[in-house]
């Protein structure tokens, strides 16, 4: 190759070509950049509409995800329908919650609530008692419901996701319920296509007045991103000792909606803000592109 009548060396040609390519593709630098300060070892952020992966880190490694599992539980229930049906809270919730020191919605065996009310009880305060009640009713039976969760995962193409519990608790083991960051982003996109699911996970608090068959309840959303990040619209945090602090999240600014997940942002049960810091860094980076 000759420029201005002089023969260029192979090194010079290579540099010139690289420079031309860079000039022709102004987005190339942005495409190779990454959010800074993200501590989660397993993470991904994507365009919520197209599903295009904007940035990821070890996103196809199987990991426990704690109560993010309840997104699938809600998906199965909503897709089945009949949300006005009255469900009697089973006696089994007491031993289940006690065995795993699980988060609860304060339900009492024998209370009667609609399936819709139980969805709020499950997704806002991350009530494992509500997840138990829904699984028992919609299986019918716990085992059948878990089978339905796995069948739905296969149907949705979540090839590296498996459930042995409807709450995400270590039942029977710490790693027997698992997914990947990429599968969870895909599941989140499917769930957020359901209008009712979007409504529930965007709700900051929900109150059920005392009525025939049940006490009064007020449930607060444990997704701290809703109150700390402008544009946040969902979806679900989770924690177990093995999973660490996890968060599946979505936010919208203008015409752009981003969805992402962080797994094990912190190992401490007392540090839920670790996921908020990671999610904020990923979202800020994504929206700035």
Do 80 and 138 form a contact (C-beta atoms < 8 A)? yes
The catalytically annotated residue of 59, 70, 265, 266 is 70
Quick: pLDDT tens for 64-106: 999 999 999 999 999 999 999 999 999 999 999 999 999 999 9
For the entire predicted model, the pTM comes to 0.89
Residues 6+ apart with CB under 8 A from 211: none
What is the CATH classification number for the domain harbouring 247? Answer: 3.40.710.10
Residue 186 lies in a domain: yes
Q: Which of 126, 179, 186, 266 is catalytic?
A: 126
156-172 pLDDT, tens per residue?
999 999 999 999 999 99
- Does residue 27 lie in a domain region? no
Q: What is the mean pLDDT of the chain?
A: 91
Q: How far apart are CA 136 and CA 144, in angstroms?
A: 9
Q: Is residue 143 part of a domain?
A: yes
126 is catalytic: yes
Band of the pLDDT at 22, cuts 50, 70, 90? very low
| pLDDT, tens digit, 9 for 90 and up, residues 203-244 | 999 999 999 999 999 999 999 999 999 999 999 999 999 999
Residue 16 lies in a domain: no
144 part of the active site: no
**pLDDT of 30 above 70:** no
* Set 56, 59, 67, 186: catalytic member: 67
Residue 19 has pLDDT above 60, yes or no: no
9 domain residue, yes or no: no
70 catalytic per annotation: yes
In the chain, what is the greatest distance between 2 CA atoms, to the nearest angstrom? 93
**Tokens at residue 105, please?**
């919605």
The DSSP secondary-structure symbol of 264 reads -
Average pLDDT over residues 107-124: 98
What is residue 83's predicted lDDT score, i.e. its pLDDT? 98
The answer to the question of residue 30 being in a domain is no
Q: How many domains does the chain have?
A: 1
Residue 10 lies in a domain: no
Q: Confirm whether 229 is domain-assigned.
A: yes
Range of the domain at 280: 39-288
């Amino acid at each position: 190759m000759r420029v201005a009548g002089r023969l260029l060396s192979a090194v010079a040609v290579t540099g010139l070509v690289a420079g031309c390519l860079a000039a022709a593709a102004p987005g190339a630098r942005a495409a190779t950049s990454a959010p800074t300060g993200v501590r989660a070892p397993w993470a991904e952020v994507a365009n919520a509409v197209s599903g295009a992966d904007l940035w990821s880190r070890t996103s196809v490694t199987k990991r426990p995800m704690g109560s993010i599992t309840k997104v699938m539980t809600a998906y199965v229930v909503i897709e089945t329908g009949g949300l006005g049906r009255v469900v009697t809270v089973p006696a089994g919730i007491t031993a289940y919650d006690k065995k795993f020191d699980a988060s609860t919605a304060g339900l009492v065996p024998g209370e009667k609530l609609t399936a819709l009310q139980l969805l709020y009880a499950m997704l806002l305060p991350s009530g494992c008692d509500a997840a138990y009640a829904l699984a028992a009713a919609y299986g019918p039976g716990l085992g059948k419901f878990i089978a339905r969760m796995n069948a739905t995962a296969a149907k949705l193409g979540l090839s590296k996701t498996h459930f042995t519990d409807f709450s995400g608790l270590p039942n029977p083991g710490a790693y027997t319920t698992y997914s990947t960051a990429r599968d969870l982003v895909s599941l989140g996109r499917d769930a957020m296509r359901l209008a009712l699911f979007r409504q529930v996970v965007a709700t900051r608090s929900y109150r059920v007045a005392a009525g025939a068959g049940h006490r009064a309840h007020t449930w607060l959303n444990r997704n701290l991103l809703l109150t700390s990040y402008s544009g946040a619209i969902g979806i679900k945090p989770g924690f177990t000792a093995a999973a660490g602090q996890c968060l599946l999240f979505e936010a919208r600014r203008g015409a752009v909606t981003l969805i992402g997940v962080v797994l094990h942002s912190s190992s401490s049960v007392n540090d839920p803000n670790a996921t908020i810091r990671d999610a904020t860094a990923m979202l800020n980076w994504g929206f700035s592109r």
